[in-house]
Structure 1
Amino acid sequence: MSIKLTVSPTVTVRVKGTVPASNGTAQPFDFTLICDRVDADELREINESDARLADVLLPRTKGWEHVLDEHDAPVPFSPEAFKQLFRIVGLAGVAWVAYLQACGAKGREKN
């Protein structure tokens, strides 16, 4: 099987996890970011910087799906809405790991 030298400039990033609800139970979340792909050179520069993950993701994020407000209405993507969402403690880390997985190659999975 061969590999193509060119890859899509964008990636769809599925971000899944849980946040604690007011009663302490885990509330699941699952949404999608549409982002520009990072390459190995850009990733090296990011790793050498001291930038916050949300600040690294924001300029690369072009949209999202399945982000809802308190009335279950879709929230349009905007930098302000992104910043509000990423105030949730730990969310940037969860999204960053999902982003790197979406951008990179994966080894063959066992059956």
Structure 2
Amino acid sequence: MSISLVVSPKVKFPVKGSIKDESGVDKPFDFTLTCKRLDTDEIQAKKNEDGSYIYADFMAGVIEDWSGVKDKDNQAVLYTTDAWQALSKIPGVAALAWQAYMRENGAKEKN
């Protein structure tokens, strides 16, 4: 029995998290990323010499678009690399995006 898979060159997925406000209350957020799908060799090639990743830089290299990112006036922010770099300055955002990408980019068990 052979397996034939056609894998899209892009992957779209949500990024969800929360951040505490000044009173200590968790404020949830979510947005959606559309990214280039990298294969295992391409992902490995992006590692630093010590085997780690800089999440913000890794994601800047694969993100092609987003939705659900809003500014302080609740207006949609268009995706640009500079806009991503600004968003990724919030501690933890780049790591959440990277984890979601790694989870959604490849194959996983079917329920």
Shorter-chain TM-score bucket reads 0.7 to 0.9
Residues 1-111 of structure 1: pairs in structure 2 closer than 5 A: 3-47=3-47, 49=49, 50-109=52-111
Query: Which string of whole-angstrom CA distances, capped at 9 and with x for unpartnered residues, describes residues 69-109 of structure 1?
Result: 11111001111111110001011111111001111111133
- Give the Cα separation in 2 of the matches to 1:103 and 1:23: 36
**After TM superposition, which residue ranges in structure 1, 4 or more long, deviate above 6 angstroms?**
none
Structure 1's unaligned 5+ residue stretches are: none
Distance 1:107 1:88, change over 3 A: same
Shift of 1:48: 5.1
Query: Which string of whole-angstrom CA distances, capped at 9 and with x for unpartnered residues, describes residues 37-70 of structure 1?
Result: 0111112223454441110110211110000011
Sequence identity (%): 37
Higher helix content, 1 or 2: 1
- Give the Cα separation in 2 of the matches to 1:78 and 1:70: 17
Distance 1:44 1:14, change over 3 A: same
Structure 2's unaligned 5+ residue stretches are: none
Q: How many residues align?
A: 108
Cα-Cα RMSD = 1.6
Q: Residue 14 of structure 2 aligns to which amino acid in structure 1?
A: R
- Give the Cα separation in 2 of the matches to 1:18 and 1:53: 18
